[in-house]
Structure 1
Amino acid sequence: MKSLRPFSLAITLAAVGACGGSSQSASPQQPKVTTAADPSCPVTVPGTSVSVEDTNTGAALVFVTTSDVIELRKRVATMAQMHNDHHGAMGPLPDGTAAEGGHAGHDMGGGGAHAGHDMGGGGKHAGHAGGMIGVHSKAAASDVESGAKIAFTASGPDVVTLQGELRMHAQHFSSGSCEMGKH
Structure 2
Amino acid sequence: MLLPGWLNSDPDHWQSRWERQFGYQRVEQADWTWPRRGDWMARLDEVLLASEEPAVLVAHSLGCQLVASWAEHSQHHARVRGALLVAPPDTEAEHMPPQLHNWRPIRRPRLPFPAIAVLSSDDPYCAPERGAQMAADWGAELVLIGPRGHINSESGLADWPEGQALLAQLRA
**Same-fold call, TM > 0.5?**
no
Larger fraction in helix: 2
Report the TM-score, using the length of structure 2 for normalisation: 0.27
Which structure has the greater CA radius of gyration?
Answer: 1
Higher relative contact order (CA 8 A, sep 6+): 1
